[in-house]
Structure 1
Amino acid sequence: MSVSEVFARRATLSRSVRLLSEFRFEQTDPARFYTALAADTAAMVGDLWQASRGEPVAGCTLLDVGGGPGYFATAFQKAGFDYIGVEPDPAEMHAGPATTGSATYVRASGMALPFADASVDICLSSNVAEHVPRPWRLAEEMLRVTKPGGLVVLSYTVWLGPFGGHEMGLTHYLGGARAAARYTRKHGHPPKNNYGSSLFAVSVADGLKFGARSGVLVAAFPRYHPRWAWWMVRVPLLREFLVSNLVLVLRPR
């Protein structure tokens, strides 16, 4: 059974519709949105681990690069993982339950993780790679700290996909700098995800090339699509517009 096959059973149309409906609340009710996303992500990572190792997740050490305000910590601890969060922005940590829960948090950059080689079972990064200027340096660091036979799960928003502009909406198709300028004129302040400083263009092709070059890619699929639409990842150009978020599953050597 392939690494992604167990999770594929969960990747139904009803799940996709449910997650899409939750995206409406990202700005107005972030607790609702991120709680739902965190629960779905914990289930996905649990499925990938089960398929890869054939054993439960209880006791597995998971390092979450870009753990944010703590909603992921709650979901992963509930699922049985030993959770460690990495977050460079203290404001993000204080925006949710991160500082009130029992999870371990470390303030650090994902591009220079303060962890020893081969020290965790699973390294996860959810929707962070598009926010750093060197996303594949981030991926290399994730591989470095993960034990041989463990899993690296790197998921990111594709720039040319419908959500690539984040709060700038579809105006990112005008170009990132133009979209940011337009948002600033309309709202009187720059977007939180500002192109060129906190938002960068990352493609599906970039991720697949990194996986092939590193020789550690075991699966790649659209995070929010139903299983019957996963074929899109295999079609150049089309995948850049239709795969809104790509999951790379990597196995360190």
Structure 2
Amino acid sequence: MVATDLFARRATLSRSVRLLGQFRFEQTDPDRFYGALAADTAALVGDLWTGTTGTTPAGVRVLDVGGGPGYFATAFTDAGMRYLGVEPDPREMHAAAPRTHRLTGSFVRASGMRLPFADGSVDVCLSSNVAEHVPEPWRLGEEMLRVTRPGGLAILSYTVWLGPFGGHEMGLTHYLGGRRAADRYTRRHGHRPKNDYGSSLFAVSAAAGLDWARGTGALVAAFPRYHPRWAWGLVKLPGLREFAVSNLVLVLRPS
């Protein structure tokens, strides 16, 4: 079985439309947005694990780098996986405390650039929408590979800078340039954006991610995270993929 076979069946146009509809609630109703994203991510990881190993993900230890305030922990635990979240910002770790009465999984405050775990200590290492927020995204990727056991999976998913969501809350103004967009946002809202270009947001391309992943010798799949299956071929088109892929998933299996 190909690693992506199971998830490809889930990657329908209706799923894409449903997830796209949730994005508008990120600021106004984070429970709705992150809850839906977390459930979809747990299904993605479970499908990739089964497609790669031929076994169910029940009991699999997942290390989530940049796991945030607990939405992903709940989704992965509900899916039968053992969840361990890593988050460097204590504000993010506690952001959802008023929302939930059932905090599941375990959490460690640490940087994804230097994970405090032994080599080959987890079955799956996941990073969802973190790479564009660190100045050295492929150092993050190397750390993910280091802690993933041989035969496990490292799954790195990130927002491509030139895609429509590359500017995050700055909207499409990032096409004017990152610093200009951040300054424009500041003038309009009276404060710097949470995802501030050059400090907490960086321009990461699809080409750079693919080059790094291929160089590791561990890449088993690369596809647009939110697109229907019939649009996955966009990853193979240099230039166009920078604008059309939006979010790139790199699936690696260390040996």
Pairwise same-fold verdict (TM > 0.5): yes
Q: Structure 1: which 4+ aligned runs deviate by more than 2 Å?
A: 97-100
Distance 2:101 2:144 in 1: 24
> 1:151–1:252: 8 Å Cα contact kept in structure 2?
yes
In 2: Cα distance, 1:102 partner to 1:76 partner: 9
Give the match for residue 65 of structure 1.
65
What SS class does the counterpart of residue 25 from structure 1 fall into? coil
Shift in Å, 1:99: 9.3
Separation in 2 of the partners of 1:153 and 1:102?
Answer: 21
2:238 maps to which residue? 236
Q: CA deviation at 1:102?
A: 3.1
Matches within 5 A, 1:32-111: 32-97=32-97, 101-111=103-113
Calculate percent identity across the aligned residue pairs.
74
Instruction: Give the match for residue 223 of structure 2.
Output: 221
SS at match of 1:108: coil
Amino acid at match of 2:252: L
Instruction: Give the Cα–Cα distance (whole angstroms) in 2 for the partners of residues 19 and 59 of structure 1.
Output: 27
Match status 1:158 vs 2:160: yes
SS in 1 for 2:250: strand
Structure 2: gaps (5+ residues): none
For 1:38 and 1:73, locate their aligned partners in 2 and report how far apart those are by CA, in whole Å. 8
Distance 1:27 1:45 in 2: 25
TM-score (structure 2 length as normaliser): 0.98
- Report if aligned partners of 1:148, 1:251 keep a CA contact under 8 Å in 2: yes
Alpha-carbon distance in 2 for matches of 1:138, 1:129: 7
Q: Tell me the matched-pair count.
A: 253
- Find the counterpart in structure 1 of residue 116 from structure 2: 114
Contact in 2 for aligned 1:124/1:154 (Cα 8 Å) = yes
SS in 2 for 1:22: helix
Query: For the residues of structure 2 that align with 1:91 and 1:205, how far apart are their CA atoms?
Result: 32
Q: Is this contact kept in 2: 1:93–1:99, CA < 8 A?
A: no
Q: SS state of the match for residue 19, structure 2?
A: helix
The residue correspondences of 1:128-207 to structure 2 (distance < 5 A) are: 128-207=130-209
CA apart distance, 1:100 = 5.5
CA distance in 2: counterparts of 1:66 and 1:138, whole angstroms: 11
| Inter-partner Cα distance in structure 2 for 1:15 and 1:99 | 28
Cα offset, 1:90, TM superposition: 0.3
Paired residue for 1:4? 4
Structure 2 CA distance for partners of 1:35 and 1:252, relative to 1, 3 Å: same
* Paired residue type of 2:8: A
CA distance in 2, matches of 1:202, 1:71: 25
Unaligned runs of 5+ in 1: none
Alignment-mate amino acid for residue 231 of structure 2: A
Partner Cα separation in structure 2 for residue 13 and residue 232 of structure 1: 15
User: Quick check: 2:62–2:81 contact (8 Å CA) kept in 1?
Assistant: yes
Instruction: Give the match for residue 251 of structure 1.
Output: 253
